[in-house]
Structure 1
Amino acid sequence: MNKTPNELLNTQKSVDVNGSSFQWDTSKGVFQFEGGDVMLFWIDSAFKVFLDSIEEITGEGTADLVFETAGYRTGLVVSDFYKNKIGDIKKSIEALPNIYVTAGWGKTFIDVNIEKKEAVISISNSWETKVKKAQGSNRMGRFLPGHWAGVFTGLFDTHMWYEIQEDDSKQNIMKIKITETDITPSDNIRDLVQREEQNEIMKLEAMVENRTRELTDLIREISSPIIPVTDHIVVIPLIGKYNELRSKDMLEHTLTSLPQHRAKFVILDLTGIKSIDSEMIDMLNKLVSSARLFGMETLLVGISPELSMEVTKHQYSLGDSTYFRNLKHAIHFAFAKEGMFIQEPNQP
């Protein structure tokens, strides 16, 4: 029976490199390293695109934490595998450089003090520095430092963390110090979440502050308009409650704008005032005094019975102003003092 070209090929291959085994079974599409399924990536193209995509979606800060945490957890997997395979911690550490160089993770040197639980890992030609170089990035790699922290956390059975002592993508060299610590990836994740929450809060506060400023400016513009009725008469409607800031704005706006009108009569319309206090009285008296300094007479209108009772109850003084029930009466009065009158249409 004739065999097809594929059947003539040897579908199973096995290679031992530095004590690490590689197996291929092309009939099943399987590639294994140390008995576990693996796959291959081109570092500076396909794998770079993979990492670029993560950074683009999550942002650099979050991506660093993702790589760091993923590195740490894969380090735990590696330490667990070789502790079970070799058994002895010292022998496991001695085997690691050959394992990593064989797997294409770079030339690795480990200087370890088991008693002090400290290690310095020097790596040249690592895949992470190659990716950073291909990206044109000056940021430090986070996967390998996190990974080695995870490896020694598993080997020493205590929390270990890293300090990057050197990371030169141009020379393709990385040096990492691993020491015992209380830091864990979970702590870093919480810190990141808190930082992001704080950033969002700060952004929201800035938006609220800007919006509040815009609304305050708008209120200032519309809350103290000076409305000219004739060349000699202006009306200032007062609406709502006047606190210290609003009273100050009102006075400043009025003092700045009144001289431009050259009016003889200023009518303060209190129809929109529902309650009155000493601060409001003080503002009204200052308005009256300011108008008098400009040679203007002040007329007060729109004082409701309730407002009148409050003024009487608290014995507030509104100076020598003339009072009218409504705006119409005040305007008629001002016209009369100028020797003019308003002729109303005949009633049917």
Structure 2
Amino acid sequence: MNTKHEINVAGLDFGWDVEEGKFLYEGEDAVLFWISSAMKVFFDTIEEVSGEDATQVVLETTGFRQGLIVGEYFHNLKNVSVEEACDLITNTYATAGWGLAKIKNFNWENKTFQLQLKDDWEYKINVSQEKDKGGNFLPAHYAGIFTGLFGENIAYKVKQYQIEGHDNTIVEYFPSDSTITENIHEFARQKEADQIKKLEELVEQKTNELQELVKTLSSPMIPVIEGIVVVPLLGKYDEKRSKELIDKVLEGVPKQRARYLLLDLTGLAQDITIHTAATIEKLGMAASLTGTKTVLVGISAELSMIMAKKNIQFSRFECFQSLEHGVYHALAESGKRIV
């Protein structure tokens, strides 16, 4: 039984060695796949694993680099002009089942031309995938071919895709400093930028949530007994926190029908500043407008020394060392006492 077969089609040699399991195309190992089934699964799997955007970059880059190998091969053929090489290339690809390719409007001096592709395998795969836009493997592949053939980087721009309802795919080619490798780097930078943006959005969201939590927990208003509320002051107060504190107190005091506002300075410790002192002054004045008297509590000996050193004076307020003393004072002024 003869296991070796050869045939020549349009000047190109095809061979089979069944015993060795080889298919030869122009003397080189080749492989055959069904387009709309096996090749479709191959493309679908890449896209499923990598995502659509990454897949396009991978296929475009692969197509270009494969084409570069072909272009350099034809470039090194002796006694073959560029015009003849173009005919050989399109003929070779037609016999290999890559579809019908025609080169139009070739400007040899400027190295610009137009390529028309009809019923190529990428188009057939895209049809099987039910896509409405063509891929970039073949356009990039021919860019690689002519880059290798000319020894100069050739870029491309797809004018129309056959899958969009046109008779064929039309691609324009021209010299360019932009390379496929730069496209990879640009894609990587874009993906990195997208990730950074997502992280920034997440950080902003979490920051807002934290700020709301801090706003809720910071300086809460605590009802002690009817007519008396306590607001503990914690940490440092910048302009934003000061405004939030004053707004919160002015909103809460009327709701609580408070006649006495006890500001507990215990949590300030060494963090009391001139700005914080000014905030307390403003808070007391604002509360007085609603008929509420402000009393300062939690002024320890240590805090008194710090206030004296910084020349902070609260002469307009009643001041007590502990919260308990402040509550008793407010009750006494109200004509009440704890039994």
Q: TM-score range by the shorter chain?
A: over 0.9
Q: 1:333 aligns with which of 308, 329, 335?
A: 329
Q: 1:12 to 1:86 in 2, by over 3 A?
A: farther
Unmatched 5+ stretches in structure 1: 1-7, 344-348
Q: Which moved more, 1:210-219 or 1:16-25?
A: 16-25
**Do residues 76 (structure 1) and 71 (structure 2) align?**
no
Which amino acid in structure 1 is aligned with residue 177 of structure 2?
D
Q: Could you list the per-position Cα deviations for residues 212-239 of structure 1 after superposition, in whole angstroms to 9, with x for gaps in the alignment?
A: 0000000000102111111121110111
- Checking the alignment, whether the CA contact within 8 Å between 2:60 and 2:141 is kept in structure 1 is yes
Q: Tell me, what secondary structure is at the counterpart of 2:155?
A: strand
Q: Tell me, what secondary structure is at the counterpart of 1:75?
A: helix
Separation (CA, whole Å) in 1 of partners of 2:134 and 2:219 = 58
Q: Tell me, what secondary structure is at the counterpart of 2:24?
A: strand
TM-score, normalization by structure 2: 0.94
Separation (CA, whole Å) in 1 of partners of 2:3 and 2:167 = 37
Q: Could you list the per-position Cα deviations for residues 192-248 of structure 1 after superposition, in whole angstroms to 9, with x for gaps in the alignment?
A: 111111111100000000000000000000102111111121110111111111111
Displacement of 1:316 = 3.2
Separation (CA, whole Å) in 1 of partners of 2:126 and 2:219 = 61
- What is the match of residue 154 of structure 2? 160
**Do residues 105 (structure 1) and 101 (structure 2) align?**
no
% identity of equivalent residues: 39
- What is the match of residue 37 of structure 1? 29
Q: For the aligned residues, what is the CA RMSD? A: 1.6
- What is the match of residue 307 of structure 1? 303
Displacement of 1:85 = 4.1
Displacement of 1:319 = 5.2
Please give the residue correspondences for 1:121-160 in structure 2 after superposition, counting only pairs within 5 Å: 121-160=115-154
- Checking the alignment, whether the CA contact within 8 Å between 1:126 and 1:172 is kept in structure 2 is no
- Checking the alignment, whether the CA contact within 8 Å between 2:74 and 2:149 is kept in structure 1 is no
Q: Tell me, what secondary structure is at the counterpart of 2:115?
A: strand
Q: Tell me, what secondary structure is at the counterpart of 1:272?
A: helix
Separation (CA, whole Å) in 2 of partners of 1:321 and 1:140 = 78
**Do residues 283 (structure 1) and 276 (structure 2) align?**
no
Q: Which moved more, 1:277-286 or 1:244-253?
A: 277-286
- How many pairs does the alignment contain? 335
Q: Which moved more, 1:15-24 or 1:109-118?
A: 109-118
- What is the match of residue 260 of structure 1? 255
Separation (CA, whole Å) in 1 of partners of 2:76 and 2:4 = 27
- Checking the alignment, whether the CA contact within 8 Å between 2:75 and 2:150 is kept in structure 1 is no
Q: Which moved more, 1:295-304 or 1:210-219?
A: 295-304
TM-score, normalization by structure 1: 0.92
- What is the match of residue 265 of structure 2? 270
- Checking the alignment, whether the CA contact within 8 Å between 1:104 and 1:127 is kept in structure 2 is yes
Q: 1:208 aligns with which of 200, 203, 209?
A: 203
